[in-house]
Amino acid sequence: MDGCRKVIGLDGCFFKGATNGELLCAVGRDANNQMYPLAWAVVEKENNDSWDWFCSLLFRDVNVLDGEGWVIISDQRKGIITAVSNWAPRAEHRNCARHIYANWRMKFKNKEWQKPFWACAKAASVSFFNYCRAKLAQLTVLGSRAMLKTDPKHWCRAWFKLGSNCDSVDNNMCESFNKWIVEARFLPILFMLETIRRMVMVRIQENRDKCEKWDDPICPNINKKLSKAIDVSGICHAVSNGNNCFEVQHGSQRFTVDLNQMTCSCRYWQLSGIVCAHAVSAIHQHTNQLHGYVASCYSVEAFKKTYAYCLQPVEGPQGWPESDKPKPLAPGYVKMPGRPRKERKREGTEKPKATKVSRVGTLIRCRKCKCTGHNKTTCPGNAASSSNGPATIGQNAASGNATSGNAARSFTKSRSNAKASKMSTSKANVKTSQQSTSRKRADTTDENLGPVQKRANKSLGLPKHKMKASSNIAVKNVTANVQ
């Protein structure tokens, strides 16, 4: 771990294939603020025994001793907490604030409370933490009280110890490592371990080549943070006392900066080892070079020390030496209900995974003119053909030879269509004549009816063209009444 800070992240992840078990991992941080895999091991499940065995070997190899000056970041699993307290009792054990927020959000689900919560977690001083918590209390009083159920010294910057040059409140490095090896987790155990080893070996080689192209003495990711601090320093106003001590006005707040001690009252400079915006505004009164005020653990030299050691190549299984110990048994397969999940469960505040691939940058080709940049609906040839109008006699004569084959085929098709239309027309005519004949028989006027039939029509109240069907019945009924 030469060149790395004394920070270790611990986490575990499940296998994705048919094999049961979990993979425990320990991840460090290099000078460019990227993950540096330290150790990984296969266990049956995450429990007190597995984490105790893993931490005992890890802390012995890394030379953690009693944990003085070390930072351990993990979630709130009892197995990890117990193992760290046993093997590194003096280490600073931080809990991932993302898991703290996930538990807190189960009762306080309003999205408007998310940013105030994270403002409390990232507050670098106790006074600023109380200010952010008061802002949260204006939105939810119960939420501001519930967040203190977990001791803030484990997840808030305001209570982190100085000297580790690490201000992280989450365990994203381990999450990145689990995502990085997600394809290998589908393989059987031996092939999975070999795949991870090769991935780490290639990563070390790539970082060794990459750092040779860096001209700046500070790593690129750290320079990005410095650029943001420089932008914010534009709204800060520093006043010097003549002894490299400054009073910096930042909006409605005021901070003190001591360049001799390399401290700022906001505590961000001491926590991270990277100059804050208040310190930048004070340093710019003397020099524009900020590299001398950044911790040496972020230098390119420290990065090269970290990746100076390379993993050695290993032969295939056929070249491995045989062991006298009994062969390990494969873990039993347990069929779980439902289809195995291939993706992790996302939090309610996370964006869903994209289901459609963006078409930005794709090349569209027209099926009509075979040109690119449009389709057949917006083809320019459509407008050109409609503007030319109907063809003239001369054009038809000139193109007669070219379309003779098409004309012959269209003539045959027209004959069949004409025959079919003729048959349908004759059937329609026969049906129409039958309907007209029946209507003529049904139509009966008042001139053809007798006086008795007329009175029957009027009593029934039916239209004249419907009287024929009911005239005989009406006449009989009326005659019977008259008699």
With 0.75 as the threshold, say if the pTM is over it. no
pLDDT tens column, 21-57 = 899 999 999 999 999 999 999 998 889 999 999 999 9
> Is the pLDDT score of 436 beyond 90?
no
Across the chain, what does the average pLDDT equal? 82
- Spatial contact of 31 and 96, defined as CB atoms under 8 Å apart: no
pLDDT tens column, 329-341 = 776 666 667 887 7
pLDDT tens column, 171-218 = 999 999 999 999 999 998 989 999 999 999 999 999 999 999 999 999
Mean pLDDT computed over 99-116: 92
Which of the pair, 474 or 217, is modelled with greater confidence? Answer: 217
- Spatial contact of 298 and 292, defined as CB atoms under 8 Å apart: no
pLDDT of residue 54: 96
Count of beta carbons in the 10 Å neighbourhood of residue 202: 11
> Is the pLDDT score of 269 beyond 70?
yes
Closest CA to 12 of 136, 181, 237: 181
* Long-range contact set of residues 10-14: C-beta below 8 Å, sequence gap at least 24: 10/51, 10/55, 10/72, 10/73, 10/74, 10/80, 10/84, 10/171, 10/174, 11/74, 11/75, 11/171, 11/174, 11/175, 11/177, 11/178, 12/43, 12/46, 12/77, 13/178, 13/185, 14/185
pLDDT tens column, 369-419 = 989 888 888 898 887 666 555 444 344 434 444 444 444 444 444 555 555
Domain 1-96+171-215 adopts which CATH fold? Nucleotidyltransferase; domain 5 (3.30.420)
The residues, any chain, with a CB within 8 Å of residue 236's CB and separated by 6 or more, are: 248, 249, 250, 277, 278, 280, 281
Rounded to an integer, what distance in angstroms lies between the CA atom of residue 483 and that of residue 481? 5
> Is the pLDDT score of 444 beyond 70?
no
Closest CA to 199 of 179, 214, 213, 219: 179
> Is the pLDDT score of 76 beyond 70?
yes
Rounded to an integer, what distance in angstroms lies between the CA atom of residue 239 and that of residue 188? 64
pLDDT of residue 346: 78
pLDDT of residue 17: 80
Q: What secondary structure does DSSP assign to 292-304, as a single string?
A: GGS-GGGBHHHHH
Q: Quote the percentage of the chain above a pLDDT of 70.
A: 78
DSSP state of 317: G
Report domain extents, the chain.
1-96+171-215, 109-164, 220-298
- Spatial contact of 74 and 9, defined as CB atoms under 8 Å apart: yes
Rounded to an integer, what distance in angstroms lies between the CA atom of residue 145 and that of residue 149? 8
3-state secondary structure of 479: helix
Of 68-77, 360-369, 390-399, 467-476, where does the model show the most confidence? 68-77
pLDDT of residue 165: 93
